[in-house]
């Protein structure tokens, strides 16, 4: 996202993201898969809204684990709007980077940031639950009352780092997924994303 801001809000002005040699034609369209993504996304968002309605009740949100899960739910709902609803739309339109450069760039940075932020929130939740069993004193020191929200600034900073300072994911209907590569003619496809690889490693471990 930092690149997009630096180059005036036009993704094609960013070096390595121009579409000068592209015919800008849509790729493979799949109405069935696209519709399935959208239907699943709407269902998941509805379930999340029900869950959050319960968790937001005062008797629940006073507990640190519920505070973390509420924030995690917000991350997930935002992510679902991109990885299910918007992805379904891209499937139906046969979208690729060069058909929607700036939209794709913004959506890709947001999707990556939300994914990494959600993963770090899960990590915080694991620590919270382990400390609740293992050491109540440390648990209270880190998570008592409003301190939980200060701890949750760590996943927020982590999310913003990936959103602003790493390369975005880009959807391609022909390749049937999100990639770090534009698939535009003469663009380099040998792109190693150390930050994203590190995030994936942290999730696995």
Task: For CA atoms 114, 115, 120, 125, give the dihedral sign.
Answer: positive
pLDDT per position as a tens digit, 1-48: 778 888 788 888 888 888 887 788 888 999 999 999 999 999 999 999
Of 58 and 128, more confident: 128
Q: In the chain, what are the domain boundaries?
A: 1-8+22-203
3-state secondary structure of 46: helix
The pLDDT tens digits for 93-143 are 999 998 989 999 999 999 999 999 999 999 999 999 999 999 999 999 999
User: Which tokens in the block code for residue 108?
Assistant: 């890709």
SS (H, E, C) 29-45: CCHHHHHHHHHHHHHHH
CA separation for the pair 26, 138 (Å, rounded):
55
Q: Which residues pair with 185 in a beta bridge?
A: none
What digits encode the pLDDT tens for the residues 140-159?
999 998 999 999 999 999 99
Q: What is the Cα–Cα distance from 29 to 81, expressed in whole angstroms?
A: 20
Distance, C-alpha 107 to centroid of its chain: 9
């Amino acid at each position: 996202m930092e690149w997009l801001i630096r180059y005036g809000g036009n993704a094609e002005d960013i070096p390595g993201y121009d579409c000068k040699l592209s015919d800008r034609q849509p790729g493979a369209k799949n109405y069935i898969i696209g519709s399935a993504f959208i239907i699943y996304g709407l269902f998941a968002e509805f379930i999340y809204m029900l869950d959050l309605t319960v968790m937001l009740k005062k008797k629940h949100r006073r507990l640190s684990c519920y505070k973390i899960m509420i924030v995690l739910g917000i991350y997930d709902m935002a992510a679902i709007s991109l990885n299910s609803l918007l992805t379904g739309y891209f499937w139906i339109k046969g979208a690729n980077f060069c058909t929607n450069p700036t939209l794709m760039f913004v959506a890709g940075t947001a999707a990556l940031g939300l994914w990494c932020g959600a993963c770090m929130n899960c990590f915080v939740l694991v620590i919270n639950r382990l400390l609740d069993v293992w050491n109540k004193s440390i648990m209270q020191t880190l998570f008592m009352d409003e301190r939980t929200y200060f701890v949750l600034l760590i996943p927020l900073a982590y999310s913003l780092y990936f959103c602003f300072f790493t390369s975005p994911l880009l959807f391609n209907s022909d390749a049937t997924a999100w990639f770090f590569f534009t698939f535009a003619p003469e663009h380099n496809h040998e792109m190693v994303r150390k930050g994203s690889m590190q995030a994936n490693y942290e999730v696995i471990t």
